[in-house]
């Protein structure tokens, strides 16, 4: 969709196809671009450029209002506007009372722990010599390697399935600002951006600082840097008490499996 945009200054002639970046350069160069007609696959009909969430960052700001004391639109208001204009099926699941940073964090940690459990179990079966000895340096290296492999896996899941196990468990959905699912290129780029800017490449000390930075950005701008860069929205479904009990149960289950594996490793000669 990002590579097949068309625009028209009047109703008699259209231009395209072009990428969203190429269209953005056209819009940013014209003062009246907000009223240009645009279309891309997935749209029912032509619409104003100013009404398309994906194009708003390319448009020039509107003239200063008659009352200078009117405050500009904040990042929070802009994000809420995007939520309000999302498709109804998404809006109905949105609990707008909070940004839920901790729910997002634990959903990602659940996915990461579950992936590493399965991933390294298969590696251990295929290459048992990799884990024949216990070494702190190797353990740290495995952590970096595992988090990188998870970024690839998450990017694939977000494109093919539209979510991950942890996100579904915590009632989280990630969509484009237009309400569409994530294209493969966007899902991979976003996942690797989270791996670098959020998880700090899986390096423990670095991760602490990147997580704090990401948390502060989310609280200040109402969205993370990777969601802003790739025009994504994170939607949160309101969870029932039964869902929270299920979340607690699966966490206990994962923790028990990890403890059993650790005990089994200690018993080996």
pLDDT band for position 188 (50/70/90)? very high
pLDDT higher than 90, residue 244: yes
Residues 49 and 114 in one domain: no
Supply the pLDDT for residue 95.
41
Q: Does residue 91 sit within a domain? A: no
Residues 50 and 119 in one domain: no
Query: What is the residue-averaged pLDDT of the chain?
Result: 79
Supply the pLDDT for residue 246.
94
pLDDT in tens, 195-214: 999 989 888 889 899 999 99
Residues 176 and 52 in one domain: no
- Give me the domain span that covers residue 246: 101-267
Q: Does residue 61 sit within a domain? A: yes
Q: How many domains are contained in the chain? A: 2
Q: Does residue 147 sit within a domain? A: yes
Higher-confidence residue of 238 and 85: namely 238
pLDDT higher than 80, residue 90: no
Supply the pLDDT for residue 129.
72
Q: Which of 119-123, 142-146, 149-153 has the highest mean pLDDT?
A: 149-153
**DSSP-assigned states of every residue in the chain:** -TT-EEEEEETTEEEEEE-HHHHHHHHHT-TTGGG-EEE-TT-SS-EEGGG-GGGGGGSPPPPPPSSTTSPPPPHHHHHHHHHHTS-HHHHTT--TT---HHHHHHHHHHHHHHHHHHHHHHHHHH-GGGGSS--HHHHHHHHHHHHHHHHHHHHHHHHHTSS-HHHHHTTEEEEETTSPPPPHHHHHHHHHHIIIIISGGG-HHHHHHHHHHHHHHHHHHSS-HHHHHTTEEEEEPPPPHHHHHHHHHHHHHHHHHHHHHHHHHHH--
Q: Does residue 26 sit within a domain? A: yes
Indicate the range of 95-99, 149-153, 176-180 predicted with least confidence.
95-99
Higher-confidence residue of 18 and 63: namely 18
Q: Does residue 221 sit within a domain? A: yes
Q: Does residue 82 sit within a domain? A: no
Indicate the range of 11-15, 49-53, 85-89, 170-174 predicted with least confidence.
85-89
């Amino acid at each position: 969709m990002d590579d097949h945009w068309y625009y028209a200054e009047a109703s008699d002639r259209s231009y395209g196809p072009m990428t969203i970046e190429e269209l953005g350069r056209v819009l940013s160069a014209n003062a009246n671009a907000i009223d240009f007609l645009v279309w891309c696959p997935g749209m029912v009909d032509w619409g104003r450029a100013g009404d398309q969430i994906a194009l708003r960052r390319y448009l020039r700001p509107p003239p200063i209002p008659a009352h200078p004391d009117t405050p500009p639109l904040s990042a929070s208001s802009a994000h809420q506007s995007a939520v309000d204009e999302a498709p109804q099926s998404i809006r109905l699941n949105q609990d707008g009372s909070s940004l839920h940073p901790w729910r997002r964090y634990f959903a990602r940690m659940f996915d990461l722990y579950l992936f590493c459990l399965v991933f390294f179990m298969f590696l251990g079966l295929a290459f048992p010599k990799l884990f024949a000895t216990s070494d702190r340096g190797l353990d740290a290296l495995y952590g970096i390697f595992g988090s990188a492999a998870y970024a690839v896996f998450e990017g694939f899941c977000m494109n093919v399935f539209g979510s991950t196990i942890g996100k579904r468990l915590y009632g989280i959905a990630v969509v484009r600002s237009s309400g569409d699912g994530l294209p493969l290129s966007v899902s991979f780029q976003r996942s690797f951006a989270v791996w670098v800017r959020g998880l700090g490449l899986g390096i423990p000390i670095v991760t602490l600082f990147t997580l704090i930075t990401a948390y502060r950005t989310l609280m200040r701008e109402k969205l993370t840097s990777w969601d802003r860069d790739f025009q994504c929205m994170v939607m949160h479904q309101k969870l029932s008490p039964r869902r929270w009990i299920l979340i607690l149960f699966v966490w206990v289950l994962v923790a028990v499996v990890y403890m059993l594996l650790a005990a089994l490793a200690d018993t080996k000669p």
